[in-house]
């Protein structure tokens, strides 16, 4: 049974995790996620919404089928398959929004952390619970959290394994917005659609600059900027934006530019 579905809604790609009853992460789900990401690349979408069916975004890995009986050699093979799939979420050329409800623990949280924007329902609960079975955050949880909330909070979350409300994760800058459960999908899709209608080439440059800063610091990002920033001047979106400022003035041009991702 397919556990991940892809469809195109106008210029937004919708990736749906659907692995009943609670969307446990396993080899099958990750493999299907990889296939869905392949479809993103060929569908011509300009933003992506990742969400899940049911009451929970996901409580993490299916320990019984994924970890039981696996030794270090098997673990290396497993992670060599899994990590590149998770990494592809943050390496997409278009923005990706994640909608989270219910439990969002361990590997499920790590998938969400690979996305650009996280919208959570008021009832969402977050945790890195790997410590309860003596495991590390094998899809990068501790350092993905540290990028958002700093190393001190990341240590707290991963060392204690405690569950946190969505409001706490919003306050700690891990979650971008908290919304009522009933409107989660609608609000997350609205975010994705707004991003899809924006200057996606510029978004992609900014994403690479942010990653350059996180990996190499300000000076490294400065060097990267000289390499990738000037190309935007040749894009139709940039030219349209400049024309709009010239024609309407700096105070009145907003909302008058139609970006086409070109």
Host domain of residue 129: 4-196
**Do residues 111 and 34 both lie within one domain?**
yes
Q: pLDDT-based confidence at 1, cuts 50/70/90?
A: low
pLDDT of 186-234, one tens digit each?
999 999 999 999 999 999 999 999 999 999 999 999 999 999 999 999 9
CA distances from residue 112 to 52, 99, 244 in whole angstroms, order as listed: 11, 8, 36
pLDDT of 163-183, one tens digit each?
999 999 999 999 999 999 999
Give ∠ CA 237-243-247 in degrees, rounded to 5: 145
User: The domain spanning residue 54 has which CATH number?
Assistant: 3.90.226.10
Closest CA to 146 of 103, 113, 108, 100: 113
Q: Which residues pair with 165 in a beta bridge?
A: 125
pTM of the model: 0.94
Parallel/antiparallel/unpaired status of strands 164-165 and 125-127:
antiparallel
**Do residues 125 and 222 both lie within one domain?**
no
pLDDT of 228-258, one tens digit each?
999 999 999 999 999 999 989 888 888 888 8
**Do residues 162 and 58 both lie within one domain?**
yes
**Do residues 95 and 207 both lie within one domain?**
no
**Do residues 112 and 25 both lie within one domain?**
yes
Given this model, what pLDDT does residue 135 score?
Answer: 94
CA distances from residue 38 to 54, 102, 187, 261 in whole angstroms, order as listed: 24, 28, 25, 19
Q: How many domains does the chain have?
A: 2
**Do residues 59 and 189 both lie within one domain?**
yes
**Do residues 61 and 143 both lie within one domain?**
yes
Given this model, what pLDDT does residue 7 score?
Answer: 97
Q: How far apart are CA 132 and CA 156, in angstroms?
A: 14
**Do residues 133 and 240 both lie within one domain?**
no
**Do residues 149 and 228 both lie within one domain?**
no
**Do residues 160 and 58 both lie within one domain?**
yes
**Do residues 205 and 192 both lie within one domain?**
no
**Do residues 155 and 32 both lie within one domain?**
yes
In a domain? residue 261: no
Cβ pair 107, 57 in contact under 8 A? no
In a domain? residue 262: no
Closest CA to 25 of 136, 105, 130: 105
Q: Last residue of a domain, which of 196, 211, 232?
A: 196
Q: Cα dihedral angle (118, 124, 125, 127), rounded to 10 degrees?
A: -20
């Amino acid at each position: 049974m397919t556990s991940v579905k892809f469809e195109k809604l106008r210029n937004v790609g919708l990736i749906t995790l659907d692995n009943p009853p609670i969307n446990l992460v396993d080899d099958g789900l990750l493999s299907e996620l990889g296939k869905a990401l392949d479809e993103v690349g060929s569908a011509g979408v300009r933003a992506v919404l990742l969400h899940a069916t049911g009451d929970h975004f996901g409580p993490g890995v299916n320990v019984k089928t994924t970890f039981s009986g696996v030794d270090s050699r098997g673990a290396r093979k497993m992670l060599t398959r899994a990590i590149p799939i998770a990494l592809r979420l943050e390496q997409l050329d278009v923005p990706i929004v994640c909608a989270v409800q219910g439990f969002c623990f361990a590997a499920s949280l790590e998938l969400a952390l690979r996305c650009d924007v996280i919208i959570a329902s008021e009832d969402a609960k977050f945790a890195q619970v790997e410590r309860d079975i003596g495991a590390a955050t094998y899809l990068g949880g501790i350092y993905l959290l540290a990028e958002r909330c700093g190393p001190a909070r990341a240590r707290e979350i991963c060392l204690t394994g405690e569950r946190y409300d969505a409001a706490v994760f919003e306050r700690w800058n891990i979650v971008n917005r908290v919304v009522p459960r009933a409107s989660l999908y609608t609000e997350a899709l609205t975010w994705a659609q707004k991003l899809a209608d924006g200057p996606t080439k510029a978004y992609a440059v900014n994403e690479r600059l942010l990653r350059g800063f996180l990996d190499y610091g300000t000076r490294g990002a400065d060097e990267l900027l000289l390499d990738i920033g000037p190309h935007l001047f040749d894009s139709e979106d940039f030219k349209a934006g400049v024309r709009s400022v010239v024609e309407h003035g700096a105070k009145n041009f907003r909302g008058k530019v139609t970006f086409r991702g070109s």
